[in-house]
Chain A
Amino acid sequence: MRKLWWRHAALIVISIIMLAPFYWLLKTAITSENIYEYPPHLLPVRPQLFNFVDVWYLIPFPRYLFNSIVVSLIAVAGNLVLNAMAGFALTLPFVGRRSVIVLLLSCTLIPFQATIIPAYLITAHLGLLDSYLGLALPLLSTIVCIFIFKASFDAVPRSLIDAARIDGLGEMRILLRVMLPLSTPAIATNIVLSFIWSWNNFLWPLIITRSQDMQTLPLGLARFLSYMEDTTGALYAFVVMVLAPGLLVFLMAQSAFMRGLTTGATKG
């Protein structure tokens, strides 16, 4: 019994440390006037929500939000279609299948950060700098997600596929009518992972966007900090607005979410 008490105490201390930054962020976001007052108050004094209104006037928040949503939607759609097709192809027997798998696995060893200079030059040659497609293009297919689809398709009973073939269904129809309806967890994982990677992506948009009109939310945040300094609670209200939707979705679907993130941990 004493042992359990000790565990709870340790975990409560850890939880407080882990939650403190969240609390400090929220507190600052609803603090009025001078956030530099010393000593800072642990509880918000005269809490108000003006900062959240200010965000809309200080920066083109709707524009950033719109750009982030468009790029993420392109990335998610691309991932679903391309990864499902590639994952399905890898479950079929063909000459060179092994080498394709080896090629894909070795690509996972090349981190995106090691490609930025040529990736920028390639995108410039394609004339896609400062465009939605250019922002989404490198994220359109992910190796980890291809293998998640492949594993899911491999688990579909052979007899079902053979029956569909005897009925005269082509490969495309088998994928759409047999495989995908039986792979909803893989589809969900694909959506969650590709959305997060694209939504949180910072380095790539930083490199290839030129105009403020094409900037996404993470760039907006960084820009806010460097142009306005951190002199106003509005910056923290902005951070709350960016983080809140994702956190709510996470808290509602956390078990599926954690599973998805750990499967896709290696980021293809």
Chain B
Amino acid sequence: MRSRRRATVIACFLAPSLLIFIVYRILPLVWNVVLSFEYWSPLHPATWAGLDNYQEMLQDDDVFWLALWNTLIFLGSQPVAIALALGIALLVNSDLKGASVYRTIVFLSYPLMTVAVAIIWHWMYNERGGLINYALRQLGIIHQPIAFLDSFAWALPSIIIANTWQVLGFFMIVLLSGLQNIPPHLYEAARVDGAPAWARFFRITLPMLRPSVFLCLVIGMLNSFSAFDLIYVMTNGGPGHATELLITYIYKQGFVSTRFDYAAALTVAQFAILLLLTWIAHRAVGGNAGAIE
């Protein structure tokens, strides 16, 4: 009797959250797959399309490949940011005076609204009023101002720098807490054995940091697939499609051209790539994905 009542209570406690996840996570996942095999738009009833959407994506759509390539470049920038963050974490991880001040400064940009970050950097890159062109010209590195965000060569790297500025502090904090969990006696033992500093770093620090690095990689990956806000505000994918990512392309196909069916196929492709990459990262860092939780 009592246990049945308890079962009802448990069901009621879980139901609202589960309902939200089923309606806004699982159902969309299934719906995306179904939609990707159909011709469908809000005004036309659905008809079976077979693999047409996928065929168009893989064979006829150059922008898809460009967006995929850009997304992979964005992704490739994340390990660089993680390495930078590791350098900073090593610098502030000691009884250095004022370490907490430096930590705060580096972290300060992370919780900012990304749209605001985009506007700030849009301005930083400005040809006349921007600090970057001004500083580069003062230093004699360039002689003509560069329109970074309108340039096919510079637009994507510029956005990647803005993104790195925002996430650096987050990576640093994750790595820092990883560093602080390494038992000090390991270093003492190594020192007694006469291991030089670089050996202590490669033999103790890096292997012990694996879970933290894996966490950073996964977050960095999700972040590259979702850097929508920055791109939308700074370049809207332009010039041409030079800064188009999969997510911005999905948005445009779905909500600008109202091609929901094709956008669904793009989403399925994006999701498959994301899963594949998560699995690769998991293997590369040597397992222990449980560390995320």
- A56 and B67 CA atoms in complex are apart in Å by 39
For the complex formed, measure the closest distance between the CB of A81 and the CB atoms of chain B, giving whole angstroms: 8
In chain A, residues 21-46, which have Cβ atoms closer than 8 Å to a Cβ of chain B?
21-22, 24-25, 28, 35-40
Q: Is B134 an interface residue (CB 8 A)?
A: yes
- Contact A11 B102, CB 8 Å, known A21-B124, A40-B128, A82-B20: yes
Of the candidates B25, B32, B92, which one forms a contact with A11 in the assembled complex, judged by CB atoms under 8 Å apart?
B92
Contact A111–B226 (Cβ < 8 Å): yes
Contact A107–B26 (Cβ < 8 Å): yes
In chain B, residues 107-153, which have Cβ atoms closer than 8 Å to a Cβ of chain A?
107-116, 119-124, 126, 128-131, 134, 137-138
Contact B119–A239 (Cβ < 8 Å): yes
Closest to A218 in B: B115
Q: Is B181 an interface residue (CB 8 A)?
A: no
Q: Is B228 an interface residue (CB 8 A)?
A: yes
Interface of A (DSSP majority class)? helix
Interface size grouping (class) on chain A: 35 or more
Contact A118–B14 (Cβ < 8 Å): no
**Which A residues are in CB contact (< 8 Å) with B43?**
none
Q: Is A127 an interface residue (CB 8 A)?
A: no
- A222 and B247 CA atoms in complex are apart in Å by 18
Q: Is B44 an interface residue (CB 8 A)?
A: no
Interface-centre pick from A20, A117, A171, A254 (highest chain B CB count, 10 A): A117
Contact A118–B222 (Cβ < 8 Å): no
Contact A265–B170 (Cβ < 8 Å): yes
Q: Is B278 an interface residue (CB 8 A)?
A: yes
Contact A116–B254 (Cβ < 8 Å): yes
**Which A residues are in CB contact (< 8 Å) with B165?**
18, 21
Contact B274–A114 (Cβ < 8 Å): yes
Contact B113–A242 (Cβ < 8 Å): yes
CB-defined A-B contacts under 8 Å, sample of 5? A85-B13, A114-B32, A200-B112, A203-B228, A217-B113
